[in-house]
Chains A and B, each alone.
Chain A
């Protein structure tokens, strides 16, 4: 079994948290929570942090076995496969959205005309290739690029700091807690990515104090993402609802920065790397689950099937981000929130189960 170093695993976790949180989530939440959006985002980040904590504890307490083996032990093969099937759907929708987000990002920032095939063929091939090559290839790539991506995100956000106006967020909770809770519910599609880390169970090298370091690293990232969201709301104010890609629009706000024209490219490079590698993680996890469910030895068939499903679902939405946003706001939100809720209960159950076992012994 290929083993991920603790640093590689931490970076994978960081990429999973980062990639779905920098673009559409911030304006999307603003549509529900208005100027209380930052509170919704904070509550959402807290949920991610708690799930992350649950996942890492479960992984540590069950070293040496995979998630599938753990589920089989606890619930038997059939239920284990059903649970994995739900996780597959959870990841599939996120992957599909991420592919579409990347496509729309290219359309808006890079090219006015961007033939669909020219995007679909290389992107699906590259991410598919990464997924077939295995997690060590993805992890090594992430390890190389992670620092640059994090620095890039910070620079892109910081360029708009001159235009920040804290008054846009005040007064807090003017209309009570209701809008913040609406915003919290709306972002549930984007949350719960740490659940996906369960796929790496049994493959991670746990060093001394790893848990603490892992949680601190991810906590810092969540704070950084919150700071980016805060800056976005402070810069764009009530117009935040009209913006499509938060991180891509921040470097364009300040006219002097925009005149320089360098930072738009930085956001393009940063986001391309992050989105491609995260899509590869999603695809790898889908293939892994496919292999567990159908007992396959090689990844190429489940990767191919996953990619086909992505293409079919994308075609059903005409490869359009606005159409997918409608699905996100309606059925996908419910599907993801339900799977997330089920898995949080499952994680809690697994922890309690282990604890009882310890008491017995």
Chain B
């Protein structure tokens, strides 16, 4: 050995380091054998009034194409951590939740305090903060199984749907961390998208399975395969949560009305029905909303909270439908003062409907509490102190809407 090299401490360190860790490196099993990768979690109520937790697990396998094996494992427990430990015992691996992109909650579970139930996930930091929350009317396990059947190349897989919901479709953009933020805020209301499983009569979806799917449960290891004709149904409906519990379900049309006040949803469709001007007669005009910006101006006048909204829309014309089937050309101008008024009336009506729903059910999904609390803090506190029940502040709120629309042809 070269003399200079002989005395190099780094070289001796490296040799020592390798020798110390060599036995461990050779004998320790690879992590993939001891830990599984979970893509989704489903939570149902068990028959014993505890929790039934299901996990969609991918098992990487050697192949010329990437088609991981999907496994749905489920177990019951008194709490989330109890059920998760049972799943781990069942499959003989620890659950790795860092890649879990969705947590599905069954309708029964949503009637309990969900943030308290999910407390383990947020405290233990074992799950990514941006996992989406989804409500389902049926069993969460079934939704997870259906999702597992669909490969990434299938159009309506759950991952694509949750991404789509976040970006465009609805106000239902609640991620795991958002739910906690809303729950800990003074107005603890949040939206969660509702997705269901639908049985398809035709056999068109038979070829959609990208990987094999199997299921195990704590009570038995029998494998069941869900019907291949089940598909995911994302109809745009959402569930409103108040103080961590489900309050009511909003259908797609109602969600769209609430979306006018949601700054996150940029894209959408706006239809003005039975519109007439100098060129057009009794037509339905559908516009594609490209972008939206909202300015809030909150004031309390005579002990009445008034929220003034300036909504600026950028749209393009999608379609003009005439009941008589008249074909209108580009020369038939639809975009005039009458049309702007019609859009304004449409938006006002939608927001008025949304406000009525909010007042009737006493929830504040529009975050009105926070808007007033942050902009007119002292006045808002004074206003609340005048109410017999401060939680019923929504009854007194009024909203004034002003819209401006830009047509991007």
Contact = CB atoms under 8 A, between A and B. Distances in A.
A170 B180 CA distance: 18
A238 B185 contact: yes
Given A112-B35, A238-B181, A242-B123, A171 B128 contact: no
A253 B130 contact: yes
B374 A170 contact: yes
A121 B370 CA distance: 51
A121 B125 contact: no
A294 B374 CA distance: 59
A121 B17 contact: yes
B180 A238 contact: yes
B184 interface: yes
A170 B129 CA distance: 23
Contacts of B125: 108, 242-244
Contacts, number: 71
A117 B19 CA distance: 13
Interface in A202-244: 236-239, 242-244
A242 B120 CA distance: 11
Contact of A112 (B9, B17, B31, B128): B31
Interface string A96-135: 0000000000001000110101100110010001000000
Interface in B9-39: 9-10, 13, 17, 20-21, 24, 31, 34-35
Nearest to A239: B180
B292 to A, nearest CB: 16
Interface in B361-384: 367, 370-371, 373-375, 377
A249 B129 contact: yes
Given A112-B35, A129-B9, A168-B181, A252 B129 contact: yes
Task: Give the one of B13, B128, B129 with max A CB within 10 A.
Answer: B129
B20 A239 contact: no
B17 A174 contact: no
A32 B139 CA distance: 41
A258 B181 contact: no
B374 A167 contact: yes
Contacts of A168: 181
Interface residues of B, number: 35
Given A125-B13, A238-B181, A118 B21 contact: yes
Nearest to B263: A165
B16 to A, nearest CB: 9
A115 B129 CA distance: 26
B177 interface: yes
B175 interface: yes
Contacts of A256: 163
A253 B336 CA distance: 43
B210 interface: no
A127 B31 CA distance: 28
B211 interface: no
A117 B20 contact: yes
A242 B10 contact: no
Contacts of B367: 167
Contacts of B175: 255
A118 B13 CA distance: 13
A129 B371 CA distance: 56
A136 interface: no
A121 B20 contact: yes
A254 interface: yes
B10 A253 contact: no
A256 B173 CA distance: 13
Nearest to B378: A171
B166 interface: yes
A118 B18 CA distance: 10
B27 to A, nearest CB: 12
B96 interface: yes
Interface string B152-166: 000000000001001
B300 to A, nearest CB: 15
A253 B177 contact: yes
A171 B185 CA distance: 13
Interface string B226-270: 000000000000000000000000000000000000000000000
B387 interface: no
Interface in A28-82: none
Nearest to A257: B130
B399 interface: no
B122 interface: yes
A115 B17 CA distance: 13
Contacts of A243: 125, 129
A152 B123 CA distance: 27
Nearest to B181: A237
Interface in A119-164: 121-122, 125, 129
A291 B267 CA distance: 66
Contacts of A129: 9-10
Given A171-B377, A252-B128, A115 B24 contact: yes
A165 to B, nearest CB: 8
Contacts of A244: 125
Contacts of A118: 21
Given A171-B374, A239-B184, A242-B122, 12 more contacts: A113-B31, A122-B17, A125-B13, A237-B181, A238-B184, A242-B125, A243-B125, A254-B130, A255-B130, A255-B132, A255-B163, A256-B163
Shortest 4 CB-CB distances between A and B: which pairs?
Answer: A238-B184, A170-B374, A171-B377, A237-B181
Interface of A: 108, 112-113, 115, 117-118, 121-122, 125, 129, 167-168, 170-171, 174, 236-239, 242-244, 249, 252-256, 258
26 contacts: A112-B96, A115-B24, A121-B17, A121-B20, A125-B13, A129-B10, A167-B367, A167-B371, A167-B374, A170-B373, A170-B375, A170-B377, A236-B129, A237-B184, A238-B180, A238-B181, A238-B184, A239-B129, A239-B177, A239-B181, A242-B180, A244-B125, A252-B129, A253-B130, A253-B177, A254-B130
